[in-house]
Amino acid sequence: MGEFRMPSLGADMTEGTLLEWLVEPGDTVHHGQIVAVIDTVKSAIDIEAFEDGEVDRLLVEPGATVTVGTPIAVIRSDVTDAGAEPVPAVEVVSAARSADAGAAVGEGSHTPASPLVRRLAHELDVDIDAVTGTGRGGAVTRLDVEHAAEAAVAPAAPEDAESSAVSVQRAAHGHVSAAPRARRLAAQLGVDLATVPGSGPDGAVMVSDVEQASRDATVTAPPSSGSPPSVPKVRTASRRARAAAAPSPARKEAMQAATAALMARSKREIPHYYLQSTVDLSAALDWLAAHNHGRAPGDRVLPAALLLKATATSLLRVPELNGFYVEDRFEPVDHVDLGVAIALRSGGLLVANLRGADGLPVDELMARLKDVATRARAGRLTSSEMSVPTVTVTNLGDQGAELVHGVIYPPQVALVGFGRIVERPWAVAGLLGVRPLVVATLAGDHRVTDGHRGSRFLEALDAALQKPEEL
């Protein structure tokens, strides 16, 4: 048995209100499937299951407010209890050493890999012992696992060609690419893979794509006079639940109070230092103009995506800025989850997590950024997108301010800021001209890094933006 607990959806969250259950006792659930809607002071969040299993009991009724960590359901699972209990992202990081040791003992594996990489391998159905590591000391990295998952995607012929654009395109090519777990889940849910748009490498269908297709089918499928198929029920949140979390003056005040409390704690506990550097974006914007040539406006990559990608790449070169400060020590993370500060229409800010930003191409990062911003403002983010990122980026874009000095979101140890892009006189090779410039800033935690390390990051960021074709 595994207790499904009220998750932590940000460092400023202490409690949440259950708006609606999307499962019932006896339902089969899969990792990543949305099982409930939780209301926080900032937004209604779709809560995902952390494991495969069967719902045994629902411990909390809709409308109840409980503290983070409180058991709200019991899910029976075939996996061991050690992997069944979901924990907030901060706890995962703080328990990294014991989790790594447990994985080595429980699985009999001696392959060096962090707990987060092992978890990703489990999610993608990759045998981590069969993966050749490219990290330090032969360690398996996140990219190694993703490449192994991509190589394991096997083609299969579709049963028939649907009239949809997805089916026609795939029928023309004669196969459907899908991850192994996605194929198994599609068979369980009765989803035709030929009709599912893939979000994985080269359009491969992933587990999340199958789950979304199943949810869409549940909403749009006409009633049948025959016996219902014996597949797991997958429902979506009702309008009533969403309406309960609609913006209101009281919610705006609560959001502001929560943000103020977190920022006050940050300034009180974290010894901040601040650095700034002006970056010439001539090369970056020229590359973007060529990259976007001939594209429809909705498909173009904006400078924000390039700045995010450069940030993620630079953090890999200065890893001391990428991780969490917990239990009086720094816990580094071997991949970059970027938190993006999004301004809500009703007021206030919400930080959404772009997971694995360091491994995303610029085009995909742009698509993810647009998608997450749209759903954040509609109150449709998932719990994984509200998990604690490794670093937060605040980008004022065209909002007028040319300089932003941010406040670190604990338990992170750095915050990167970008002001508005402006044209200014700028000297290059002894010649004065007008160039597009942006001021990049870094707020660092002096308990972990210093001005030297921070300067190295800003230097790496500048260098990355001078060679945008390599991002």
pLDDT digits (tens, 9 = 90+) for 184-197: 677 667 778 778 88
Which pLDDT score, from 0 to 100, does residue 453 have? 97
State how far the Cα of 305 lies from the Cα of 311, in Å rounded to an integer.
10
- Structure token digits, residue 181: 């777990």
- Structure token digits, residue 54: 């069967």
Which pLDDT score, from 0 to 100, does residue 81 have? 42
Which pLDDT score, from 0 to 100, does residue 164 have? 42
Dihedral of alpha carbons 72, 76, 82, 88, sign: negative
- Check: CB of residue 151 under 8 Å from CB of residue 173: no
Which residue ranges of the chain lie beneath pLDDT 50? 79-109, 154-174, 219-234, 239-241, 243-244
Which pLDDT score, from 0 to 100, does residue 381 have? 87
> Domain 2-94 is in which class?
mainly beta
Which pLDDT score, from 0 to 100, does residue 154 have? 43
Which pLDDT score, from 0 to 100, does residue 192 have? 80
Which pLDDT score, from 0 to 100, does residue 123 have? 60
State how far the Cα of 405 lies from the Cα of 395, in Å rounded to an integer.
11
Q: What does the domain layout of the chain look like in residue ranges?
A: 2-94, 153-220, 249-470
Give the Cα-Cα-Cα angle 88, 94, 98 (nearest 5 degrees). Answer: 110
For 425, phi then psi, to 5°, come to: -60, 135
Which pLDDT score, from 0 to 100, does residue 466 have? 97
CATH number for the region 249-470 comes to 3.30.559.10
Give Cβ neighbours of residue 465 (< 8 Å, ≥ 6 apart).
Answer: 279, 281, 283, 284, 306, 307, 310
- Check: CB of residue 325 under 8 Å from CB of residue 448: yes
What is the topology classification, in CATH, of domain 153-220?
Answer: Dihydrolipoamide Transferase (4.10.320)
- Structure token digits, residue 253: 């005040």
What does the pLDDT look like over 429-443, one tens digit per residue?
Answer: 999 999 999 999 999
